[in-house]
Amino acid sequence: MKANVIRPGQTIGILGGGQLGRMMAVAARHMGYRIAVLDPTEDCPCAQVADEHIQADYDDVDAAKRLSDLSDVITYEFENVDLEVARLFEEEGKLPQGAYSLEVTQNRSKEKEEAVNAGLAVPEYAIIHSEQELLDAINWIGYPAVIKTISGGYDGKGQLKLETEDALQELSSFLKDGGTYIVEQWLSFDLEISQVFTRGIDGAITYFPVAENIHKNHILHETRVPANVTDDVTEKARQAVRTLADQMNIVGTFAVEMFVKDEAIHINEMAPRPHNSGHFTIEACNVSQFEQHIRAICGLPLIPVHSFPAAVMVNVLGKHYDILTSKAEKYIDLHLHDYGKKEARTNRKMGHVTFIGNSLEEIDESIEANQIHMW
């Protein structure tokens, strides 16, 4: 595919106005681009730094056409946007990422099929539509397992862990008539990693450091770099994402979460855009996942990635937000990012903090000194 170069001064349209759109916009504005965003929420995070905000639902075709009229190129900040609207942008030649990666990552069944077709390992799984089909699947998958909605859901929403047969009693409040679900083997893994990368229109790929993810209550709490994996695992991760990237013709920044067990990797989930586990790249790398994404969709050459020896990113949830902002002047050695969200709900991601240093041990001492380990 030949790159249609979008030059500074032209307008980038962003479908979705959350924190990822905001950070894309900030990176783009540093490079001289104008920003238009479509999002239904008034004063959403991206709108606060955009030139134009079209306040409308994602499936509003008229609003999508207005975004297209304003924009020279369009991207999306999360995968739960309207697929038909994305296809409209693709037909107009304004969506370099294409709609296919959205189609895949919006559907957990298609996501698994894509990985399997690429010859990659995934946890055992089955697609089910009823409680009886679930029981049949559990007979060969075994316990523990996890059942998830086929689409939507994030940060632990839309899923239920089945530890033993007793957990089946909770299904009546989870399964909906006519719904489609995926039931997966609950893999006993050593750690979870993310490989965030960017692929240009010309097929060139740059990789950010492999990151280790630590969750609390199904929500990403901390991302640590370098991940505690061998060079062999790093190479396997990069080969896996290269295969997926070429197979899906990825353009832009993309993330793949993987489980590591005894030096083997299993594909967990994919994200067709910058990812929470890549936020460390803003301070810890010479080019962030957001700037690299903007360069890719605008047809600019990617920048070779260099990084600090170590970094840790910690999410700031609503329950931490007041603690952090009320004592902002007392924290040392951290970079603070506030997403500009009005309502600080308990488990809502309100921002993040990033530490960079010469080693993870050095950073852990700083995290403890700042009492962020108590979060």
CA distances from 27 to 5, 198, 293, 312 (A): 17, 15, 9, 21
Q: Read off the pLDDT band of 177 (50, 70, 90).
A: confident
Residue 153's pLDDT is 64
Other CB atoms closer than 10 Å to residue 169's CB: what's the count? 8
- Average confidence (pLDDT) over 64-83: 96
List, for residues 201-252, the tens digit of each pLDDT value: 999 999 999 999 999 988 999 999 999 999 999 999 999 999 999 999 999 9
Measured in residues, the chain has a length of: 375
Greater confidence (157 vs 54) lies with 54
CA distances from 300 to 5, 158, 201, 308 (A): 7, 38, 9, 24
- Average confidence (pLDDT) over 190-201: 97
Residue 3's pLDDT is 63
Checking if the pLDDT of 152 tops 80, the result is no
As given in the structure block, the two tokens for residue 249 are 């013709």
Residue 296's pLDDT is 98
List, for residues 308-347, the tens digit of each pLDDT value: 999 999 999 999 999 888 888 999 999 999 999 999 999 9
Q: Is 356 buried (19+), middle (13-18) or exposed (0-12) by CB count in 10 A?
A: buried
- Average confidence (pLDDT) over 43-60: 97
Q: What distance in Å separates the CA atoms of residue 273 and residue 23, rounded to the nearest whole number? A: 12
Residue-averaged pLDDT of the chain: 94
Domains parsed from the chain with CATH numbers? 11-95 (3.40.50.20), 124-185 (3.30.1490.20), 191-374 (3.30.470.20)
Residue 156's pLDDT is 60
Checking if the pLDDT of 1 tops 60, the result is no
Q: Read off the pLDDT band of 154 (50, 70, 90).
A: low
Residue 54's pLDDT is 98
The answer to whether the beta carbons of residues 199 and 97 sit under 8 Å apart is no
List, for residues 75-91, the tens digit of each pLDDT value: 999 998 899 999 999 99
- Residue 349's nearest CA partner among 313, 306, 304, 299 is 313
- Average confidence (pLDDT) over 26-40: 98
